[in-house]
Amino acid sequence: MGREVVKMVLDEADFVLTAASARSAGPVDAGTFVGKPACGVMFSSTLEEALDSGPIDVLVDFTVPHAVYENAKAAISRGIRPVIGATGLSPEQIDELDKLCKDRGIGGLIAPNFSIGAILMMQFAAQASKYFPNLEIIEYHGDQKLDAPSGTSIKTAELISKVREEHRQGNPNEEETIEGARGGYYNGFRIHSVRLPGVFAQQEVIFGAFGQSLKIRHDSYDRAGYMPGVAVAVRKVMGYEGMIYGFEHLMD
């Protein structure tokens, strides 16, 4: 994702790549590293070095949950707006980052998914759940993904739960003969996580009713598909105050 972000920033006429940080990249030009002409920005070995390298408006962070929290605090303390593409932050951490942003008068964004198609899938699923309250979520990712369920499926479940009253689905006498066979329980419905090599990122929400079913599915095939959403977030976060949770709040 970091490579794709660098490519996107270099391609957008109104963006300027000021710094880049990747511990594994080494002292190499960021443009050359992603297969584009040299841009004069060398990778920094630490985030602090990158953040202090010049005037920066936005930090785009696609690292991991245990790192993004401290990364975001480091950015906010310097008046830099964090745009975070990792999941796993606790509600308490999000609330603290929101307060820190407001104290500095800047905006920030935490988005479980930057794919505009995935955001629409989540919104359509929430709309459908008003009429089809019986549902299950199945999400598919590669076998190296660390968290389960995915942040996208959790965000989908949260949006559905805002418009669907909790009720436990299925037979009340249902019994799992193998633990976990029915997936994770969330507000009365189930979330299933598939992890396999060769899989990139897909999610479907299956709705069932008497005599019919409805499936809403989104498939991602390449990380470049997330970049239009990242570009929108970088532009729009400049006009907000506080930490926003969910890309859907940026969609008009």
List, for residues 164-217, the tens digit of each pLDDT value.
998 889 888 999 999 999 999 999 999 999 999 999 999 999 999 999 999 999
Do 129 and 145 lie in a common domain? Answer: yes
Do 127 and 147 lie in a common domain? Answer: yes
Do 139 and 228 lie in a common domain? Answer: no
Query: What's the per-residue H, E or C state across the chain?
Result: CHHHHHHHHHHCCCCCCCCEECCCCCCCEHHHHCCCCCCCCEEECCHHHHHCCCCCCEEEECCCHHHHHHHHHHHHHCCCEEEECCCCCCHHHHHHHHHHHHHHCCEEEECCCCCHHHHHHHHHHHHHHCCCCCEEEEEEECCCCCCCCCHHHHHHHHHHHHHCCCCCCCCCCCCCCCCCCCCEEECCEEEEEEECCCCCEEEEEEEEECCEEEEEEEEECCHHHHHHHHHHHHHHHHHCCEEEECHHHHCC
Do 58 and 135 lie in a common domain? Answer: no
Do 153 and 94 lie in a common domain? Answer: no
Do 40 and 97 lie in a common domain? Answer: yes
Do 77 and 126 lie in a common domain? Answer: no
Do 99 and 151 lie in a common domain? Answer: no
- The structural domain count of the chain equals 2
Do 25 and 121 lie in a common domain? Answer: no
Do 87 and 39 lie in a common domain? Answer: yes
What is the tens place of the pLDDT at every residue in 116-140?
Answer: 899 999 999 999 999 999 999 999 9
Q: Which domain holds residue 62?
A: 2-110+223-250
Residue numbers annotated as active site: 141, 145
